[in-house]
Amino acid sequence: MSECRKYGLGFWQCPNSLFLVMGIIIIVAMILTYFIGIRFVEPEAVIIIVCSVTVILLIIGHSLVNSFTRIAEANRMKSEFVSIVSHQLRTPLSALKWSLDLLRSKRLGDINDKEMEYLDIINESGNKMIKLVNDLLNVSRIEQGRLLMQMKAFSTEDLIEDIVKELRMLAESCNVEIKFKRNKEIPSVYADPDKIRMVVLNLIDNAIKYSKKGEGWVKIQTEKYLKDKKMILVTVTDNGLGIPDILKKQVFGKFFRGENLVRQKVEGTGLGLFIAKGIIKMSGGDMGFESEVNKGSMFWFTLPIANKVKKAVNKGR
């Protein structure tokens, strides 16, 4: 019912309510038909009851179709609105960033330390806004199935190693140890390296931020997926806060911010995991996690092995 109120649907327009009413009518009709069939020898009364119930069910069915159409239209309009607004924001934000970079480079003249401090604050805020706009655009494209994927073969080991080097300073500042050892047996995967980089970066970044400060660790592993030799499995494990059972179904939803995460005062929009799972699904893989409160979390995803994909394509030809 909360979803129906969200889209402005009344009781007789809400699919949940209509399904409930339909179920009650069917049960009542069955009971009435049974007793009428026992009491009357003539079938006319039974036929009238059945026809009446059929008409009522057809009316309710028509209302259900209209309700689903309205909800689908509302979702489509919401996605289009987010996409249009994000595109409109992207241009002025990019211009702002270029102007700030020019000012901070001192090519237009010298600036003192206090002025540089203010410019750094503005630049940081601008970068956050650009990231939010990009995230909203990616969410809109994933929902509409329009996210452009440049698929090719690449090494996950090289990609993870580069990201670990990039995040090493962040980990050290949080007193968190990153553990990663190259697995020489891992073959190349077939996906969009830039998009997979976003996924891995998001998972490791989250693991670092939510690990125990001072004694935290993040472990990244890759292996062949034993249940399906056409895939590789990547896991990112931490010893952080963990996720309560009551929140686990919401983890891959949009704008997910658990109570523990907010208490940690970690910045973020809550869109990262939604985008990450969408990218992995569009790459032909899957994504999930295991977590226990105060013990940590293990996020995993699978990707298709490059030579297996090529063989499947060749067989199809």
Distance from chain centroid for Cα 244 = 19
3-state SS, 280-314, equals HHHCCCCEEEEEECCCEEEEEEEEEEHHHHHHHHH
Residue ranges of the chain with per-residue pLDDT less than 50: 7, 262, 312-317
C-alpha 272/C-alpha 200 separation (Å) is: 11
User: Which pairs with CB-CB distance under 8 Å and at least 24 residues apart come from 74-82?
Assistant: 74/7, 75/143, 79/140, 79/143, 79/144, 80/140, 82/136, 82/137, 82/139, 82/140
What's the pLDDT at 14?
61
Amino acid type, 127: N
The pLDDT value recorded for residue 313 is 42
Q: Among 266, 278, 134, which residue's Cα sits nearest to residue 199?
A: 278
At the topology level of CATH, where does 152-312 sit? Heat Shock Protein 90 (3.30.565)
Strand pairing report for 216-224 and 176-180: parallel
Q: Which residue, among 253, 229, 258, 224, has the nearest Cα to 241 in the 3D structure?
A: 258
Where along the chain do its domains lie? 1-147, 152-312
pLDDT tens string 55-72 = 777 777 667 666 666 666
Name the phi and psi angles at 224, rounded to 5: -75, 135
pLDDT of residue 317: 45
Sheet arrangement for strand 216-224: 176-180, 216-224, 231-238, 296-304, 287-292
User: How does 55-77 read in b/e, with b if 16+ C-beta sit within 10 Å?
Assistant: eeeeebeebbeebeebbeeeeee
**pLDDT tens per residue, range 1-33:** 555 555 455 555 565 666 666 667 667 766 766
**258: how many CB neighbours lie within 10 A of its CB?**
19
